[in-house]
Amino acid sequence: MTPPTLSQVLAETFDPQRLRTQVWSEIATFSMLIAELSWIAAWYGAVLLSQGGWLPAYAVLGAVTLTTHILVRVLNALELRSLYRIPAVLLWILFSVLVTLKLLLYPDQPLGVGDLLYRSVQFLVDPNSDLREIFHHFILLLLILRGLRIAREPADTLTTAASFQLGLFMFLVFGLLLSGSPLAQRPQTYIALYIFLLFSLFAMFTARIASLRGLRGGRTPVFNRGWALGVLLIGLIVVAVGVFSGWALSGQLGQWIVQLILALTGIITFLILLILSPLLLLLARWIPMLIARFQKNLADPINAWQQSMQEFLQHQSEQAAAHTEWVTTGRNLGIILFALIILASILGALRWRQLRIQAAAEKGDPSGRLGPLTPWEFLTGRLRSSRDLNRARRLLAAARIRWVYAQLMDLCEDLGTPRPPALTPLEFIPRAAVLFPDHLAGLQTLTQAYLRVRYGELPETQEEVDAVNAAWETVQAAGKAQLQARRKLPKN
């Protein structure tokens, strides 16, 4: 099979129908990358860039990450061999290192390619070299690896949520460690936080929409401009509320609110103490009396218990001294028996391996994989196969139920009553009952089974599948009879 050409790849990639069904996943992926770059660039700018802030780092590192992501996807689409793919990625990494060093760390110095190459590896040979190159290479390598991974595994609900949690943690650490730094207090740093919040929310929203395609029975989500604008507007509103709340609480209004909360807490505490003051006074008087009485009443039982425990321990020590010789002998015998069991197990394993290799050699497999299995391999293999077989049957049963419900929808459409997209399967039952008035129970059985499968449940028993098949056979027979009767009617 010949690999596709670049024109074929571009035609398939930019196919309108393909783009409409995959655009939600693409939006989630790129939104997640933009959000991650915001906190990475904020750290990079605060640690390495003393004057430029985080915007240059955001632009340069973002271009590197996105280009890496797109490059890997193009190479995967072209189905190139590793002989060509690996050198292309390595050349891109080398080019990224040199360009980012020049643009971010040494923008004002006239450095050539040789100087940049030396600066790239200087920390390996010179212990007194600048530590900025080490941190720069570390961040750049992480971003390139991130671009490679997302190219293989697009964003979903779990990855976007994990990315959001990691970003919040990194901004929290950023605020705790660098709160006194003038770089951390610039408005640009707050803008990085707002960008992170906005695009993280947008990524999680769109990833959830894209994941509907992976649900059992879920439809392929087609891109809708109204949905995209609505999701973006929701994200903007949430971020705006957070920004306004932070601004309001950081000023005089925030101080008033804190003082009001402290005053209310003090008033409530005073009222509680005032109400409970009689009880507290009684307890302060009764507690010493109760303690003295308990000490007097418990002194004699405690002394008797201590004396009995001393006698018991003395008796046990005398018996242990009398049986010390037997205990020593039994321990030695146990050690010898344990050693014999280990030795027998080792010899048995070696013998089993020899028999396995011999049997495999007779079958033409020098690696020994075709020989007889060990008892442990046999047991775990049987358990795993039975478990997988059970799950495989349940998955096939779920697929059968989805297929049956799809056939029911096609039959209703042929009879002139299709299910509108706005109606849920349960809401469609009354309309379907008009077509099949004698089979309402069968329609309910089919719909309930489909809903359970659609929302992640798998059939537990064969009786559930048999009930669905029986209901479908009766409904299908009634539908075919109606279709045949309509075909026999004379046309006007």
Q: Kindly state whether residues 240 and 182 are assigned to the same domain.
A: no
pLDDT digits (tens, 9 = 90+) for 181-220: 555 555 667 788 888 888 888 888 888 877 765 554 455 5
User: pLDDT at position 474, please?
Assistant: 92
pLDDT digits (tens, 9 = 90+) for 219-250: 556 666 777 777 778 877 877 777 677 666 66
Cα torsion 55, 58, 60, 62: sign: negative
User: pLDDT at position 180, please?
Assistant: 58
Where helices occur in 179-214 by DSSP H, the ranges are 187-211
User: pLDDT at position 297, please?
Assistant: 67
Q: Kindly state whether residues 215 and 126 are assigned to the same domain.
A: yes
Report yes or no on 308 lying in a domain.
Answer: no
Domain edge (last residue) among 185, 206, 223: 223
Domain edge (last residue) among 278, 311, 341: 278
* Poorest-pLDDT segment among 178-187, 285-294, 349-358, 393-402: 178-187
Report yes or no on 294 lying in a domain.
Answer: no
User: pLDDT at position 470, please?
Assistant: 92
Among residues of the chain, what percentage have pLDDT more than 70?
A: 72
| Neighbour-count burial of 482, counting CB atoms closer than 10 A to its CB (0-12 exposed, 13-18 middle, 19+ buried) | middle
Helix (H) or strand (E) holding 26: helix 16-47
> Rounded mean pLDDT of 299-324?
71
User: pLDDT at position 446, please?
Assistant: 92
User: pLDDT at position 97, please?
Assistant: 84
User: pLDDT at position 455, please?
Assistant: 82
Q: Kindly state whether residues 177 and 249 are assigned to the same domain.
A: no
| CB-CB contact of 77 with 8 (8 Å) | no
Whether the pLDDT of residue 472 is over 90: the answer is: yes
pLDDT digits (tens, 9 = 90+) for 77-134: 777 777 788 888 888 888 888 888 888 887 777 877 787 777 777 766 666 666 777 8
**pTM (two decimals):** 0.48
- Tell me the C-alpha to C-alpha distance, in Å, between residue 385 and each of 392, 396, 413: 10, 16, 42
Token pair, residue 192, equals 């990085």
Residue 336, C-beta contacts closer than 8 angstroms, at least 6 positions apart:
none
Going by pLDDT thresholds of 50, 70 and 90, the confidence category of residue 274 is confident
Report yes or no on 464 lying in a domain.
Answer: yes
Q: Kindly state whether residues 38 and 147 are assigned to the same domain.
A: yes
User: pLDDT at position 181, please?
Assistant: 58
- Tell me the C-alpha to C-alpha distance, in Å, between residue 18 and each of 11, 15, 104, 142, 231: 10, 5, 38, 31, 22
Q: Kindly state whether residues 41 and 187 are assigned to the same domain.
A: yes
DSSP of 85-134, one letter per residue? HHHHHHHHHHHHHHHHIIIII-TTS---HHHHHHHHHHHHH-TTS-THHH
Give the number of domains in the chain.
3
Q: Kindly state whether residues 154 and 111 are assigned to the same domain.
A: yes
Report yes or no on 365 lying in a domain.
Answer: no
User: pLDDT at position 19, please?
Assistant: 57
DSSP of 437-470, one letter per residue? GGGHHHHHHHHHHHHHHHTT----SHHHHHHHHH
| CB-CB contact of 360 with 369 (8 Å) | yes
| 3-state secondary structure (DSSP) of residue 364 | coil
Q: Kindly state whether residues 50 and 71 are assigned to the same domain.
A: yes
> Rounded mean pLDDT of 52-63?
79
pLDDT digits (tens, 9 = 90+) for 325-335: 666 677 778 77
Whether the pLDDT of residue 74 is over 50: the answer is: yes
Q: Kindly state whether residues 183 and 148 are assigned to the same domain.
A: yes
pLDDT digits (tens, 9 = 90+) for 157-171: 888 888 899 988 988
> Rounded mean pLDDT of 285-304?
72
Q: Kindly state whether residues 56 and 10 are assigned to the same domain.
A: yes
Going by pLDDT thresholds of 50, 70 and 90, the confidence category of residue 51 is low
User: pLDDT at position 1, please?
Assistant: 46
Report yes or no on 95 lying in a domain.
Answer: yes
User: pLDDT at position 471, please?
Assistant: 92
User: pLDDT at position 473, please?
Assistant: 92
Q: Kindly state whether residues 192 and 78 are assigned to the same domain.
A: yes
Report yes or no on 361 lying in a domain.
Answer: no
| CB-CB contact of 50 with 177 (8 Å) | no
Q: Kindly state whether residues 117 and 174 are assigned to the same domain.
A: yes
Report yes or no on 301 lying in a domain.
Answer: no
pLDDT digits (tens, 9 = 90+) for 435-465: 888 888 899 999 999 988 888 788 888 888 8
Q: Between the ranges 68-72, 229-233, 315-319, where is the mean pLDDT highest?
A: 68-72
Q: Kindly state whether residues 97 and 182 are assigned to the same domain.
A: yes
Domain edge (last residue) among 223, 241, 256: 223
Residue 147, C-beta contacts closer than 8 angstroms, at least 6 positions apart:
33, 64, 65, 66, 67, 68, 69, 72
In 10 A of CB 481, how many CB atoms? 10
Q: Between the ranges 51-60, 220-229, 318-327, 475-484, where is the mean pLDDT highest?
A: 475-484
Report yes or no on 322 lying in a domain.
Answer: no
Find the domain containing 402 and state its range: 379-488
Among residues of the chain, what percentage have pLDDT more than 90?
A: 4
Whether the pLDDT of residue 380 is over 70: the answer is: no
